[in-house]
A and B are shown apart, each in its own frame.
Chain A
Amino acid sequence: MSAVAANYEKLQELSVEVISVSVDSYFVHKVWNDQELSKMAEKDVPFHMVSDGSGNVGKIYGVYDENAGVELRGRFIIDPDGVIQAMEVMTPPVGRQLAETIRQIQAFQHVRATKGAEVCPAGWTPGKKVLKPGPDLVGNVWKVWSPLKDH
Chain B
Amino acid sequence: MSDEAVGCARPTGATVGEPPPETKFENISQKETIMSTAKVGTKAPDFQAPAYYRGKFTSVKLSDFLGQWVMLCFYPGDFTFV
Whether, in the assembled complex, B5 has its beta carbon less than 8 Å from a beta carbon of chain A, the answer is: no
Binary contact readout B9-53 vs A (1 if CB under 8 angstroms, 0 otherwise): 011111100100000000000000001111111111111011111
Q: Is A135 an interface residue (CB 8 A)?
A: no
Q: Give the interface residue-count category, chain B.
A: 35 or more
Q: Chain A's nearest CB lies how many Å from the CB of B9?
A: 10
Instruction: Choose the segment among A65-73, A115-123, A124-132, A139-147 that binds chain B (4+ C-beta atoms closer than 8 Å).
Output: A65-73
Write the B51-67 contact mask toward A (1 if CB under 8 angstroms, else 0): 11111011010110111
A-B contact count (CB 8 A): 205
Chain B residues within 8 Å of A44, by CB: 54-55
Residue-by-residue, is A53-72 near B (CB-CB < 8 Å gives 1, otherwise 0)?
11011111111000010111
A33 to B53, CA, bound (A): 10
